[in-house]
């Protein structure tokens, strides 16, 4: 079996010098790319479409909307851990929403590069709605978040009803809060750390039974 021996540097030919230089350059490029991707992950954007409502019985209403997730990166996949939404119908009260992740790949966890995915979301409003704001997720990187603060509301005229405990629900001026835990992976198998994402979608109008034309951007 022939064994390839690398001569000592003093005996290197021009071919050896060029080969070592190329290998070193590739290593530097790979390390730089990994650091760049880790420090500057891809961007994802959310918006709300097709906000509608229907009544299942005297006590329960179902509020449906489409959560549009945009992965703007041409090279990075988005991998979702947790993905949830809350429907805030006043400054102090909200109901949890169920996100159908079936449109995502790999059992609802992966969004390809340069992809727009529409996710069906629904929330039930009935007598067991929460009236205490949940604590927002923890953040790294020095983000200036206010723990326990609900999403900001708007001054738009409400279409309101009052439930049994006296809380007024303003369905034409609702706020959707989207929270997610994500990480990104490039096609070269370089991946980032986990990131907590929090998007606020204000002035979502559930006042109309067929409100299918407007799009609400989240920020």
pLDDT in tens, 59-100: 788 999 999 999 999 889 999 999 999 999 988 899 999 999
pLDDT in tens, 143-166: 333 334 456 554 433 344 555 444
Structure tokens at 102: 């079936």
The ranges assigned to domains in the chain are: 42-137+151-217
What local confidence, expressed as pLDDT, does residue 55 receive? 83
> What's the CATH code, domain 42-137+151-217?
2.60.40
Integer Cα distance of 197 and 218 in angstroms = 12
Q: Which of residues 132 and 68 earns the better pLDDT score? A: 68
The pLDDT-based confidence of 170 (bands split at 50, 70, 90) is low
- For 168, the enclosing helix (H) or strand (E) is strand 168-170
Integer Cα distance of 85 and 34 in angstroms = 32
Query: Are the C-beta atoms of 151 and 138 separated by less than 8 Å?
Result: no
Query: Are the C-beta atoms of 95 and 65 separated by less than 8 Å?
Result: no
What local confidence, expressed as pLDDT, does residue 136 receive? 45
Asked whether residue 111 carries a pLDDT value surpassing 90, the answer given is yes
Q: Provide the CA 217 distance to its chain's centre, in angstroms.
A: 13
Q: Which of residues 4 and 182 earns the better pLDDT score? A: 182
Query: Are the C-beta atoms of 72 and 42 separated by less than 8 Å?
Result: yes
What local confidence, expressed as pLDDT, does residue 22 receive? 85
What local confidence, expressed as pLDDT, does residue 34 receive? 60
pLDDT in tens, 172-197: 789 999 999 999 998 777 888 899 99
Q: What mean pLDDT value characterizes the chain?
A: 78
């Amino acid at each position: 079996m022939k064994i390839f021996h690398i001569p000592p540097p003093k005996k290197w030919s021009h071919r050896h010098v060029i080969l070592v230089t190329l290998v070193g350059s590739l290593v530097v490029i790979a390390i730089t790319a990994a650091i760049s991707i880790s420090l500057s992950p891809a961007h994802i954007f959310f918006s709300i479409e097709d906000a509608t409502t229907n009544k299942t019985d005297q006590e329960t209403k179902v509020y449906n909307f489409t959560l549009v997730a945009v992965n703007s990166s041409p090279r990075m996949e988005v991998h979702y851990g947790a993905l949830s939404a809350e429907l805030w119908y006043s400054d102090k009260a909200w109901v949890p929403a169920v996100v159908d992740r079936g449109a995502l790949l790999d059992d609802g966890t992966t969004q390809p590069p340069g992809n727009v995915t529409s996710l069906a979301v629904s929330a039930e409003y009935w007598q067991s709605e929460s009236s205490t704001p949940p604590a927002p997720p923890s953040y790294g990187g020095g983000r200036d978040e206010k723990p326990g603060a609900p999403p900001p509301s708007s001054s738009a005229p409400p279409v309101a009803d009052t439930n049994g405990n006296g809380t007024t629900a303003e369905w034409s001026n609702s706020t959707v809060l989207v929270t997610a835990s994500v990480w990104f992976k490039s096609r070269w198998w370089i991946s980032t750390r986990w990131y907590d994402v929090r998007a606020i979608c204000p002035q979502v109008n559930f006042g109309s039974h067929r409100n299918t034309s407007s799009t609400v951007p989240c920020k």
